[in-house]
A = this chain, B = another copy of it.
Amino acid sequence: MERSQHKTLRQAYGFDDVALVPGDITINPDQTDISFAVDKLNLSIPILASAMDGVVDVRFAIAMGKLGGLAVLNLEGVQARYDDPSIVLDKIANAPQQEVTALLQKIYSEPIKENLVGDRIRAIKKTGAVCAVSLTPANTKRLSPLAVEAGIDVLVVQSTVTTARHVSKSYKGLIFSELVKQLPVPVIVGNCVSYSACRKLMETGIHGLLVGVGPGAACTTREVLGVGVPQATAIMDCAAARDDYFKVSGRRVPIIADGGMRNGGDICKAFACGADAVMLGSIFAQTKEAPGKGNHWGMATPHEALPRGTRVKVGMKGTLEQTLFGPSSVTDGTQNLIGALRTAMGVCGARNIKEMHQTEVIIAPSIKTEGKFFQMMQGLAKC
Contacts and interface: CB of A to CB of B under 8 A. Distances in A.
Q: Which of A230, A233, A367 has the most CB of B within 10 A?
A: A367
A267 B223 CA distance: 10
Give the bracket for the number of chain A residues in contact with chain B: 35 or more
A264 interface: yes
A372 B374 CA distance: 10
A236 to B, nearest CB: 4
Interface stretch (A22-30, A45-53, A62-70, A116-124): A22-30
Contacts of A383: 381
A332 B24 contact: no
A18 interface: yes
A225 B347 contact: yes
Interface stretch (A150-158, A164-172, A279-287): A164-172
Given A169-B30, A195-B3, A222-B368, A19 B12 contact: yes
A96 interface: no
Contacts of A367: 14, 214-215, 222, 228, 230, 260
Contact of A237 (B6, B10, B228): B6
A7 B349 CA distance: 18
Contact of A224 (B7, B265, B351, B373): B265
A331 B347 contact: no
Contacts of A240: 3-6
B347 A327 contact: no
Given A310-B331, A377-B376, A229 B362 contact: yes
Contact of A196 (B24, B161, B162, B230): B24
Nearest to A221: B265
B381 A22 contact: no
Contact of A26 (B163, B170, B336): B163
Interface stretch (A84-92, A179-187, A300-308): A300-308
Interface in A327-374: 327-333, 336, 339-340, 343-344, 347-349, 351, 360-368, 370-374
B226 A344 contact: yes
Interface stretch (A36-44, A72-80, A268-276): A268-276
B225 A264 contact: yes
A35 interface: no
A328 B305 CA distance: 5
A82 interface: no
A203 to B, nearest CB: 10
5 A-B pairs with least C-beta separation: A226-B268, A226-B265, A28-B168, A6-B236, A224-B333
6 contacts: A2-B244, A3-B195, A230-B367, A233-B362, A306-B339, A380-B380
Interface of A: 1-7, 9-28, 30-31, 101-102, 105, 160-170, 192-197, 199-200, 213-215, 220, 222-230, 233, 236-237, 239-240, 243-244, 260, 263-269, 272-274, 301, 304-310, 326-333, 336, 339-340, 343-344, 347-349, 351, 360-368, 370-374, 376-377, 380-381, 383
